[in-house]
Structure 1
Amino acid sequence: MKSGLAQRHWSVSSLQVLRDTLAARGIVIAPFLVQAGLPPALLDDPRAQVEATTELAVIERVLAVLGDPPGFGLEVGVRYRLAAYGVWGFAMLASSTVRDALTLGLEYQDLTYSVMPITLAALDGGEAVVFDDAGLPPALRRFMIERDLSASRQIMTDLWGTPSPCRAVTLALPWPADTAPYEAVFHGPVHFEATHNAVIYDPGMLDRPLPQANPLVAALHVRACQERLRQVLRDDGIIEKVTGAILARPGHFPPLEDVAEGLEMAPRTLRRRLAEAGLGYRDLVARLRQDLAIEMLTATGLKVEAVAERLGYAETASFTHAFRRWTGRPPSSYARQGR
């Protein structure tokens, strides 16, 4: 996991959350920062950035001193408010529905502070936000699972403006002596020693409209997310090679494994190279789809249905849904411009 994060960096807002949580326990974060090679004054600059691996080093030192207590990750996670994520958070807040917000958030998850891959999947009769802990360092595993899942629940609370119900939360962690703190944070039943780390919602929950929905504002923030991703690119060469491989077969967006084979490298190596460039494979595919969609609609005169098919969407409705999220407008408005 750490090798894949070697060049990833983000705002000090995440360390500020850790600082505030420790302060509530009467603990000063400064010594842990110094041990990791960071000046304590860095957290006073809201514009400052920190490398992901350095933040993980700070967390590891904190946990070593505290003894990795169960529930500490919850204390940190609930302090992650949407505003702490910058344009990513604001784009989610302005989304039309919970599903829109989650889909957008997952497309640009490289802009979050999570070190676990996150997916949306059907699970136990509901729809679940699933966190893959396979690559977590053992010393950070419990903390990161607790922190990231509780942070995701806080994000849902911020989206709704009030705590939102969930069907269940499953954690691939041992049963703690006291489950009450977990139930209080997750606002639902919590199951331990599970196969997945997941927050499970009733299917209809994700399609309910959000109170601060504003498609035009959301589109502006999506573009800001794209610009932020471009700013953190560190290896244009690999991005260009992968882009060329993706576009080699029009209308087909191959899985990362196929692209890696074509570039004669292992999938793990390609993931690492892309991570070092600051861009995930899914983010790159999403960006290409958007750019191609706009170009085909405005320059070729193709119908919306034809563009959706060429971009690999099984249903036109899914393409229209994604296009509205990208631009704040229906694809038909761009198609009309092209005629």
Structure 2
Amino acid sequence: MSATARLPETDALVHPVYARMLRRLLEQASVETVPVLAAAGLDAQALGQDERPLSLETTRRLVVAAMAATGRPWLGLDLGGQTQVSMHGLIGYAALTASSLGDVLRVFARYSTVRNEALVWALEDDAGAEQTLLVGRECADWGPARGFYLDTVVAATLRLVEAALGELPDGLSVDWPLAAPPWSTQYQRFAPVRFRFGAPVLALRAEARVLTMACLGADPRAHATACRACEAELRALAERSLSRRVAGLLRSQPAGSYPSLTEMAALCELGPRTLMRRLAAEGRSFQALLDEARQARALWLLRHTRLPVEEVAAQLGLADTSNFSRVMRRWFGCTPGDLRRQTSAATDEAAQPGYTATPSSRTT
């Protein structure tokens, strides 16, 4: 693999309901939708009937064409802000019937891939700051559509939180992995939520005092029913492709922590030998999937952050930086420093008009 390697691209990532919503948003803005859809190889009639997820490339082309047609670099905020709870499917129902904000965040962390495999949420505690973080790990390279995609996901997530609680509480903040754009005042529509631009990774921070806020529609029995349905969808995804399920679980692991084969088997509710046998039937292996997850994270961190090489190695579970350099040569044919120098100029520039995606150094 060369230094120009890209993050793995899943064939089917995005539910078509979001493309339909975008089409409706264009219509509200009096934009002719036919040429926008055509730029992505989509047909309006087929889009309204086909339930198959859209590919990454199709979605990228659609987003770029839509932003160009409207002249709104903040179009993702508009789209996410108009997302109705029903658009989230079972996840929305599980969130609305949860007991508290903390349970809503757990719903996102557990079931987000049912609706969207391009970003995986994971819960992490920041005990020193008395906060819980819902960290979003990007699993695809959106290129020119990255800012739009993150805008949409975060805006839709905040609107679902607002629907569950009846308000957006003071005590929520968002770590934003892009520099503040010239139109950053657009984020004020989510006040009192605060946005910290130039953060190392995407994260929704909730102070401990707001995690216990009660949801308006709290219903333990309905919530349990919704969660069982979400679990069934997760199992259905795993049955269709166990390797895809394992890959998603590996992507969602906290930095520096990857499960062993035995631990992964337990997560999939299988025995280790059964897991190996079923992966082999799909032409994959646990070790190969683990290597791919580490490669994707290494490539992402080196291309989109300025973290020291030592910290990148640590996030891959590799404490020895010299070993990390050897592994990088095997994966990409160059050292970490070489890869960062070769790709930073081309890939770290933002793609939206006026939206600079320059990452900042990690702060301590």
Q: Which amino acid aligns with 2:28?
A: A
For residues 101-149 of structure 1, give each alpha carbon's deviation from its aligned partner in whole angstroms, at most 9, with x where no partner exists. 2212211111223622222223555222222347432211211121111
Match of 1:160 among 137, 157, 165: 165
How does the TM-score come out when normalised to structure 1?
Answer: 0.65
Matches within 5 A, 1:139-178: 139-178=144-183
State how far apart, in whole Å, the 2-side matches of 1:174 and 1:141 are.
12
Matches within 5 A, 1:215-230: 215-230=220-235
**Structure 1 unaligned runs (5+)?**
273-339
Q: Counterpart of 1:58?
A: 62
The answer to whether the Cα contact below 8 Å between 1:42 and 1:48 also exists between their aligned partners in 2 is no
Match of 1:97 among 73, 97, 100: 100
State how far apart, in whole Å, the 1-side matches of 2:195 and 2:92 are.
26
Matches within 5 A, 1:94-243: 94-113=97-116, 115-123=118-126, 125-133=130-138, 135-233=140-238, 235-236=240-241, 238=243
Are the structure 2 counterparts of residues 247 and 144 from structure 1 closer, same or farther at C-alpha, using a change threshold of 3 Å? Answer: closer
Q: Which amino acid aligns with 1:202?
A: E
SS of 1:106's equivalent?
helix
Q: Confirm whether residue 30 of structure 1 aligns to residue 34 of structure 2.
A: yes
CA offset at residue 234 of structure 1? 6.8
Are the structure 2 counterparts of residues 33 and 229 from structure 1 closer, same or farther at C-alpha, using a change threshold of 3 Å? Answer: farther
Give % identity: 18
CA offset at residue 239 of structure 1? 7.5
SS of 1:50's equivalent?
coil
State how far apart, in whole Å, the 1-side matches of 2:265 and 2:238 are.
25
State how far apart, in whole Å, the 2-side matches of 1:2 and 1:62 are.
24
Point out the more displaced range, 34-43 or 98-107. Answer: 34-43
For residues 191-216 of structure 1, give each alpha carbon's deviation from its aligned partner in whole angstroms, at most 9, with x where no partner exists. 22222322222112112221211121
The answer to whether the Cα contact below 8 Å between 2:124 and 2:134 also exists between their aligned partners in 1 is yes
Q: Which amino acid aligns with 1:265?
A: A
Are the structure 2 counterparts of residues 3 and 250 from structure 1 closer, same or farther at C-alpha, using a change threshold of 3 Å? Answer: closer
Are the structure 2 counterparts of residues 8 and 271 from structure 1 closer, same or farther at C-alpha, using a change threshold of 3 Å? Answer: farther
The answer to whether the Cα contact below 8 Å between 1:245 and 1:262 also exists between their aligned partners in 2 is no
Cα RMSD for the two superposed structures: 3.8
State how far apart, in whole Å, the 1-side matches of 2:93 and 2:81 are.
18
Match of 2:288 among 260, 265, 270: 265
For residues 141-162 of structure 1, give each alpha carbon's deviation from its aligned partner in whole angstroms, at most 9, with x where no partner exists. 2111211111111111111123
How does the TM-score come out when normalised to structure 2?
Answer: 0.61
State how far apart, in whole Å, the 1-side matches of 2:174 and 2:91 are.
24
State how far apart, in whole Å, the 2-side matches of 1:183 and 1:212 are.
27
SS of 1:170's equivalent?
strand
| Alignment size in residue pairs | 266
SS of 1:73's equivalent?
helix
